[in-house]
Structure 1
Amino acid sequence: MPHFRTYDDAELHYRVLGPADAALPPLVCLAGGPGRDAAYLGDLGEMAAHRQLIIPDSRGTGDSPPAADPSRYAFPRLAEDLEALRAHLGLERFALLGHDAGATLAQAYAAMYPQRPTRLVLVCPGSRLQGELTDDAREIFEARADEEWWPAASAAVQQLAEASDLSEVRELLFAAAPLAYGRWEEPQRAHAAAEGAQLGPVPRAGFWQGVDEQARLALLAGLARVTCPVLVVTGDRDAVTGMRAGELVASSLPGATVRPLHGVGHYPWVDEPGLFGSVVEDFLRTA
């Protein structure tokens, strides 16, 4: 697996999917969770069939070692790791995609290095960086109460707040998983079944560590200086982050476009791979 050395000499790893093509620059893709193994991104709905994807394992996930200093799990520090990856790859500028918490990291990177991204794709982002937690995810979840999986998922959501044993948490996450997808069929079940083993509790806990109000506002101010085109993708069945969060994120970036996808949950490339891939690819190819 290829690797690079970052600012503190840590050796971090990344995957390369798809063929190199001088006419189609690579897309760097950031996993969310936070602290989840990037394997859950797969090939992003077969996007790797026609564009090279570069997918880093952030500290403490995948094949990258844990951080010696827990403060290095905070997403502004992870943005410095991303800048080290860019330098390693020899990319002066590049397109960047982030999913879920990876979208927060992508925003932090763009705020800190606004000259680097050529395109920014934010998939099902939360809006904690914008300072507001929206409530429409709960509305989306409750609107699906007539689906057969809903009673078990609803009970699991309530029990997760009290669970502390990791094996119990993993079982409850799978029971609650249907709320994250547009439908609950074999591809969604298989994708959800891998989640428990992909979670990194320590990187997850450190993601927001040390990011106080002053730091948050400084990043928001940096976002106002981002000039590259931005696409925010949301799903109308996303009961994890909802859709309003994406609208808030877009409002903090000049010229951002929101693209809601119908029948899609928190993982658009699982629910509608063809649609997701075409929407992202059309955006990346737009002059």
Structure 2
Amino acid sequence: MPVLTAPDGTPLAYHLVGKGEPLLCLPGGPMRASAYFGDLGGMAAHRQLIQLDLRGTGESGLPTDPATYRCDRQVDDVEALRAHLGLEYVDVLAHSAAGDLALLYAARFPARIRSLTLVAGRARALGIDFTEAHRREAAALRSAEPWFPHAYRSYEAVWAGTATDADWDAIAPFFYGRWDAAAKEHAASEVAQTNEEAAERYASAGAFDPAAARAALASLDAPVLLLAGERDSGPLPRVAAEIATLLPGATLTVQPGAGHFPWLDDPEGFTRTIADFLP
């Protein structure tokens, strides 16, 4: 397992999956180990996936200063990985909460971005985020499914701030396009793969300056793909479309029937979309 050293001395691990041109993959969660990517639905057959374990997750070391879990402070880790790999520029794929990290990296190092792919990408860095109303809107799409009544009651507990661990487990089906064996196995690994302390600090005060990020990214000279799941709430497809308006040259693809992890819902469709977009 290859390791590099971040500018502050934190050891950062990354995993190489597949062969071909590199695709730098930033995991969400926030602060979930990159193992949940797997081979990204077979994307490793098209590109070499360089899956970074963010500091304090997976095989990466714990930083001396926990304040460095904050999203904007991890931009230097991404740049350190690019330099370590000896790449002049990188194709970056970011999932979920890592959308913020990728956007901040592109804002600070625009010349290092050859392409940017945001898969169910969050965009608090640009002042856009999902809301409870968005969650309810997407949840309503699943009302005919057998697990819905119990899961929705648990969602209500989450929104009320009274959720137990069992409630958090019960809402997992809302994040997958199909609640099948593969989805259940994937969901079961989340807690063990996530650094909860780091997750709480990831978007802490000062992490984002939306006006500055919007200004910096308004002149980004790189193709951008936003891939949203039709059944996802974070972001809803129409919210992903709003994010796309802030990024020049951005295109939006909505994957039919997909949730928050679209490579599990339709691996072939997912990989075809990404492979066709990448340079």
Aligned residue among 94, 97, 111 for 2:93: 97
Residues 28 and 212 from structure 1, CA distance in 2 versus in 1: closer, same or farther, beyond 3 angstroms? closer
Q: 1:137 maps to what in 2? A: 135
Alpha-carbon distance in structure 2 between the residues aligned to 1:282 and 1:207? 32
Q: Which moved more, 1:186-195 or 1:264-273?
A: 186-195
Identity between Structure 1 and Structure 2 (%): 41
2:215 aligned with 1:225, yes or no? Answer: no
Q: Which moved more, 1:147-156 or 1:88-97?
A: 147-156
How far off is 1:70 after superposition?
2.2
Question: 1:150-169 to 2 correspondence within 5 Å?
Answer: 150-160=148-158, 162=161, 168-169=164-165
Q: 1:12 maps to what in 2? A: 12
Contact 1:31-1:99 at 8 Å conserved across structures: yes
Matched residue type, 2:173: P
2:236 is paired with a residue whose SS is: coil
Contact 1:136-1:243 at 8 Å conserved across structures: no
Matched residue type, 1:7: P
Matched residue type, 1:137: R
How far off is 1:163 after superposition?
5.2
Alpha-carbon distance in structure 2 between the residues aligned to 1:212 and 1:51? 31
Alpha-carbon distance in structure 2 between the residues aligned to 1:253 and 1:76? 19
Q: Deviations over 1:166-212 (max 9, x none)?
A: xx53x333311110111111111111111121221111111112426
Q: Deviations over 1:40-63 (max 9, x none)?
A: 111100111231000010011101
2:31 aligned with 1:32, yes or no? Answer: no
Alpha-carbon distance in structure 2 between the residues aligned to 1:58 and 1:146? 38
Q: 1:84 maps to what in 2? A: 80
Q: 1:241 maps to what in 2? A: 235
How far off is 1:249 after superposition?
1.8
Aligned residue among 170, 174, 179 for 1:175: 170
After superposition, the CA RMSD in angstroms is 1.7
How far off is 1:17 after superposition?
0.6
2:190 aligned with 1:192, yes or no? Answer: no
Contact 1:137-1:243 at 8 Å conserved across structures: no
How far off is 1:126 after superposition?
2.4
Alpha-carbon distance in structure 2 between the residues aligned to 1:194 and 1:233? 24
Gaps of 5+ in 1: none
2:126 is paired with a residue whose SS is: coil
Contact 2:72-2:207 at 8 Å conserved across structures: no
Q: 1:113 maps to what in 2? A: 109
Alpha-carbon distance in structure 2 between the residues aligned to 1:136 and 1:244? 10
2:43 aligned with 1:47, yes or no? Answer: yes
1:148 is paired with a residue whose SS is: coil
TM-score, with structure 1 as normaliser: 0.91
Alpha-carbon distance in structure 2 between the residues aligned to 1:194 and 1:212? 27
Residues 71 and 244 from structure 1, CA distance in 2 versus in 1: closer, same or farther, beyond 3 angstroms? farther
Q: Which moved more, 1:153-162 or 1:32-41?
A: 153-162
Q: 1:271 maps to what in 2? A: 265
Alpha-carbon distance in structure 1 between the residues aligned to 2:211 and 2:115? 23
Alpha-carbon distance in structure 2 between the residues aligned to 1:109 and 1:268? 24
How far off is 1:27 after superposition?
0.1
Q: Size of the alignment, in residue pairs?
A: 276
